[in-house]
Amino acid sequence: FNAALLGKWLWRFLNEKGNLWRKVVAIKYGTSNFGWYPSKANGSYGCSLWRYISNCWESFLPFFYFKVGDGASISFWHNQWCGEGLLKDLFPNLFALAEDREASVADYRMRGNDSSVWVPIFVRDSFVEDDSFLCFFSKLSETIP
C-alpha cells in the first residue's frame, strides 16, 4: 500500500471526529489514548484495509505534535507535546515511577489565579537529586502550562 495514502487516512481519523465514517471505524475497531489513536485491527476476518492503515500509526507518530489547549485530551506521557519526543521515552526511569502513566496533561497541571505549575505525581520522591529529575522539570519549564 501507498504509505502517503495510509498517512492521509490517519490524519483524517485525527481531524474528522464528527464524520460518520470516523465514528463507524472508532466503534468497530476502538480507539486508544484519549480517542486520538485508532486501535489496531487484529482480527483474522477478511483483509481489512483499516488493518493496514492502523498498523502504520507507529511510523507516522513521530511526525505528529499536539497543541495542548486545556490538556484534557493529551496524554502527558504518550503524546508528543513538550518538545521533541515522548516524555516516557526521554525519561523512562521517571515514567516507571509515575503514579498514573495514563494521566493527561491537565491532570499534572495545577492552575492558580494568574499562573499554573506542573505537578506530576510519582510513587516515591527519593530521586530529587537525580539528574534526570532536574532535566525533566527543565524540559517542562520550557512549555508554558
In this structure, are 90 and 57 located in the same domain? no
In this structure, are 78 and 117 located in the same domain? yes
Domain boundary among 12, 40, 61: 61
Q: Which residues, in sequence order, are CB contacts of 62 under 8 Å at separation 6+?
A: 80
pLDDT of residue 42: 62
pLDDT of residue 46: 41
d(CA 49, CA 31): 16
In this structure, are 140 and 101 located in the same domain? yes
pLDDT of residue 131: 81
In this structure, are 92 and 138 located in the same domain? yes
Domain boundary among 45, 61, 77: 61
State pTM to two decimals.
0.68
The count of structural domains within the chain is: 2
Domain that holds residue 33: 3-61
Helix or strand (DSSP H, E) at 7: helix 3-15
In this structure, are 36 and 73 located in the same domain? no
In this structure, are 76 and 143 located in the same domain? yes
In this structure, are 102 and 45 located in the same domain? no
In this structure, are 122 and 54 located in the same domain? no
For the chain, 145 residues long, give each residue's pLDDT as a single digit of tens: 688 888 888 888 888 888 998 888 888 877 776 666 666 666 665 456 777 777 777 777 777 777 777 888 888 998 888 888 889 999 998 999 899 999 999 999 887 777 778 888 888 766 665 788 888 988 888 876 5
From first CA to last CA, the distance across the chain in angstroms is 40
